[in-house]
Structure 1
Amino acid sequence: MKRTITAAPDANGYTRTELDHLTGMADRLNQAGGALATMQSQWVLTNQAICRTMPGLPALPCTQAAVPPPGHARLPMDRMVSFCSDQARACEDLRTRLQSVADRLTKAYGLYSQAESFMDRLMGSLTSKALTVFQPIAPFMLGSISLGLGMAKLTGHLDTSQFQEFMETTASIQQPLLTAVASGLSSDHHDPIGGLVTGPGLLMPLILAHFQGDRITMDPVQPQGKGLGEAHDIAGALHNLETLGSCRDGIPYATVAVQRYRKADGKDHWLVYIPGTSSHLDSPIGWAQNIQLMSDKASVRDRAASLRLVDRAMRDAGVRPDDPVSLVGHSQGGIVAATMASDLSDRYRFDHIVTVGSPIAHRKIQSDTWVTSVEMREELVSSLDGADNPSRPNRLTVRGRAGGPPPPGGDQTGRTVITVGPGKESTHGMAYQQAAWADARDQNSPAVRRQDDHFAHAIEGDLQETRYYRGRLRR
């Protein structure tokens, strides 16, 4: 099955006046397109009127005479019909071009995303207010839904495709529902999700010590294939991250990769790849670490084995406090990247982080660190923070949307992803996130281009080496 992925970057980096000016330009282009559509209709009607008149012309006396009477001439009716058709086509072509420019302008500067974000916040606010009435029983509502879905899955009445269909249908209410549930259980309304998981996060080291162990062993490994190549932009880094997370080329699960780039001036720049959650029992990037990382307490987050693994790998690779570091992470890997940029800014110099499908809205990242986030609207993970990402000039969120199959033939927008099976699959996977970023880059958005250029400059230079570190939990 093929699905078309389209993306909308947010409107970060533009003033209110600039956005209003750009919106006005797009509106005027669309209005001009509408006027051209009216002109096209008039030319078509004129053409039709001429065509209706032509059959009766031979019966007129003036057309039957060998020599036209004085004051009469034979009109080139065929040429008139052709002229009307040409003018109608010209109006249609110009209308299409103007509306295409308006659409590209709207996408490139995040105007559509801005309007949609406003509607999302409005609907989220209305949903949250409605859920306030049911807040005392909201956790039971969420629990009942989860239990029902789980039972349907176990009994075979709900397959993966149907579950994904349910997730996509309810995407607009997931974030406000989670916020309402968390607010009912936590007194901290600034980060209700973080407050909600802090209790379990405090117990997690004890649970891990009993079942998995909380001691990390880290060993250098080498891929059996060519491994990760040199990255020159965000797309290249995402490709490498997908290779790492999918364990291709014989790369083991729960492996962190550290690349060292050297500029012409001899200075080292680092790029660290952090994969998403793995379900293996001895993985330090497991499900339990998500709870710790989502906590609103830094002391709980710092105990997460995944964060400790990345920190240890960076130190072993030779990252110095003053060396510029960029982090790229998927899912839990993105949470690790954002948490390190917020909690370990006194230990490392974080230049740029890229998060993919990660709930990081509540991480207080230093203002001099650039942040690029890619999220898909149809998947739950990015909404687990219960809030939208903050807005600032050097922080950009690209939101992707998965549609149906691409239209047959003709021009199409967006990027195509081929699913594994015939039904829908989770859009949390790297293929969808990569397609969303690629579509945003295709739109030639200044904000997207600025992020990509900064990331490229951050890792500029020749790749010196790539080190791979496999982490395991031991008792």
Structure 2
Amino acid sequence: MGDDGGGIVSVTGGAGGIEARYEDIETLARLFDDTGDGLRSWAWDDKGIAADGDLVESSVLSPLTFTTAEAAVLKATIGPGGLAFEAVDLELDALAMQANVVILRGVDDLQRQAVELLDYLVGRTIGALGPSVLLLGALTLATSPGLALLAYLNRDELATMSQEQLIALLEEHPEVVQHLLNGGGGLVDGLLDNLPPVVRDALLAQLGLDPLHPTTNDIAGDLAALFEDTDVSVTEGGAAGEEARSLAAPGSIEELIRNLDKTNSGADGEIDIVRIEDENGVRYIVNLPGTDDFGVGGAAVRDTLANLQLVGGEETAYARGIREAMESAGIPPGAPVALVGHSQGGMTAVQLAGNPEFTDRFNVQHVVTAGAPTAQVSHLPDSIQALSLENTGDLVPLTDGEDNPDQPNRTTVRFDHPTGSVGGNHALDTYAVGAGLVDDSTDPSLVETLQQLRQDGFVGSDGTTTTSTYTIARTP
């Protein structure tokens, strides 16, 4: 466990995020506008007092009093400083606030588009300059993303660096890797530019690839389409001879991640569904580990093909198997569910939470991810709270090439816990440390997230648990 000063680098989104503040401004603007409408209505109604029959008749008896009363009514309603003027001021303030939010959102969007274009152009330039180097580097990307590209860009300086020094450089400058990976579509387009036009066009036609890939998501989807996916089989229970897991109800977010680590220790394709029952009812935590196999299209359902499909926004065999396992576990409609995933498991959790067909069947209330790129899912329903943990030295969360959306129901916490190795920076032990920092944090977004997890009974319950293990695999 630690404190913010020693580990948490940044918190975006959630109750204290920019988008939440934009929404607060819009709510205040609506309140001003509604108040202005009410004041204008009152001004019109009160102005009618000046034409009241009894008041007009009294003018014969007391002209001076009538004139004074008439002037006071008009001043209070439509005169300077009256209700009508106040109504206009409030409505102008409301209009100004709404306009400012529109402008700020527009600036954010323009900035994002500018970064996307710049990353694409850089990627395309690199691809056009060094096809042989980059093709060789592509073989390295699966296990250490970005190392080959950085080595190419700084090959004279980095040639003398040890592996430890190179990893330290990446830990200190993860944004370099993020931008390079965000230009993945341009990189491939640049490589193809080196081919004679006739050969390039024939290759694109043969493979069924698009000629232009503006984003990494586009090229990932195109590459995933080159491989045929299969159906899945889902069996209850873990590997033969494996001791059955019994996961206790987590008392903190750190314990939630440590439970996920226990699931991750199982055989390839295993997931755990934890049923928690207490005086407040029954709820389910679904633990989803990450990539098992860096091959493509084999029996392992958590492979590189699934990673490409997820970045490309496509459904995976893993996701289909998870749904089938949850059906087999007998999770009833309406029962609260939390999806907790590491790496590819976190990507899958967020994709499922953003799929209306899935959420129509399962009442997903929370998603917690560790070391997972999730920006490719641009929106989650307001009813779902998502917490994403990212270690600054971990390259995997950067592979979507973008920061997570800043939304009131999506909180991203970046913490600094370097281990000196690519695998160590991505390990669930490391993410348990980051989760402990979240438990201790006083940041408003993190306090609200933890409070919601406790309120909904996924953290801090003293109930009994039942753990069911399911193994998901591709059919031959």
* TM-score computed with the length of structure 2 as normaliser: 0.61
**Is residue 229 from structure 1 mapped to residue 248 from structure 2 by the alignment?**
yes
- 2:30 aligns with none
Structure 1 distance, partners of 2:340, 2:270, is 13
Query: Cα distance 1:17–1:292, how it changes in 2: closer, same or farther (>3 A)?
Result: closer
Q: Relative to structure 1, is the Cα distance of residues 232 and 457 closer, same or farther in structure 2, using a 3 angstrom cutoff?
A: farther
Deviations 1:179-234 (A, max 9, x none): 22325647575xx2222111222233x2x55xxxx442423238526542221332
Q: Distance in 2 between matches of 1:168 and 1:123?
A: 24
d(CA) in 1 for partners of 2:222 and 2:116?
Answer: 27
Higher relative contact order (CA 8 A, sep 6+): 1
Aligned position for 2:412 = 397
CA distance in 1, matches of 2:322, 2:259: 17
Q: Unpaired runs of 5+ in structure 1?
A: 20-117, 404-418
1:180 aligns with 2:191: no
**Does residue 1:239 correspond to 2:258, yes or no?**
yes
| 1:162, distance to aligned residue in structure 2 (A) | 5.2
- Find the partner of 1:255 among 270, 288, 300: 270
Q: Offset at 1:337?
A: 0.3
Q: Deviations over 1:220-279 (max 9, x none)?
A: 23852654222133221101011111x2xxx323210001122425x3211100001112
CA contact (8 A) 2:122 2:183 kept: no
> 2:121·2:186 contact (CA, 8 Å) conserved in 1?
no
Instruction: Report the Cα distance in structure 2 between the residues aligned to 1:14 and 1:347, rounded to whole angstroms.
Output: 31
Indicate the residue corresponding to 1:272 in structure 2: 286
Asked if 1:324 is matched to 2:339, the reply is no
Q: What is the aligned length?
A: 337
Residue number in structure 2 paired with 1:381: 396
- Report the equivalent of 1:411: none
Counterpart position of 1:471: 472
Report the CA distance shift for 1:157/1:449 in structure 2 as closer, same or farther (over 3 A): same
Q: CA deviation at 1:356?
A: 0.9
- 1:135 lines up with 2:135 in the alignment: no
| Residue 346 of structure 1: how far off its partner (Å) | 2.2
Task: Please say if residues 232 and 475 of structure 2, whose CA atoms lie closer than 8 Å, have aligned partners that are also in contact.
Answer: yes
**Given the superposition, is the C-alpha separation of residues 138 and 423 from structure 1 closer, same or farther in structure 2, using an over 3 Å criterion?**
closer
Task: Determine which of 426, 438, 461 is the counterpart of 2:436.
Answer: 438
1:288 aligned onto 2:305: yes
* Residue 314 of structure 1: aligned partner: 326
- Among residues 218, 243, 250, which one is paired with 1:195 in the alignment? 218
Q: Is residue 372 from structure 1 mapped to residue 391 from structure 2 by the alignment?
A: no
Quickly say closer, same or farther: Cα 1:431–1:128, change in 2 above 3 A: farther
Letter in 2 for 1:314: M
| Farther off after superposition, 222-231 or 367-376 | 222-231
1:168 CA drift (Å): 2.6
| 8 Å Cα contact 1:276/1:285 also seen in 2 | yes
Alpha-carbon separation, structure 1, partners of 2:135 and 2:247: 39
Q: 1:431 to 1:15 in 2, by over 3 A?
A: closer
Post-superposition CA distance 1:310-337 (Å, at most 9, x none):
1111111111231111100000000110
Query: Which stretch of structure 1 is more off in the superposition, 138-147 or 451-460?
Result: 138-147
Rounded Cα–Cα distance in structure 1 between residues aligned with 2:177 and 2:422: 19
2:372 to 344, 348, 358: 358
Q: CA separation in 2, counterparts of 1:130 and 1:313?
A: 40
* Deviates further, 347-356 or 456-465: 456-465
1:402 to partner: Cα distance: 3.2
When normalised by structure 1's length, the TM-score is 0.61
Distance 1:138 1:438 in 2: 41
Query: Separation in 2 of the partners of 1:227 and 1:160?
Result: 39
Structure 2 runs not aligned, ≥5 long: 1-5, 22-106, 141-146, 149-158, 190-209
Partners of 2:169 and 2:161 in 1: CA distance = 10
Task: Give 2:183's aligned amino acid.
Answer: A
- Report the 3-state secondary structure (helix = DSSP H, G, I; strand = E; otherwise coil) of the residue aligned with 2:412: strand
C-alpha separation in 2, matches of 1:8 and 1:240: 25
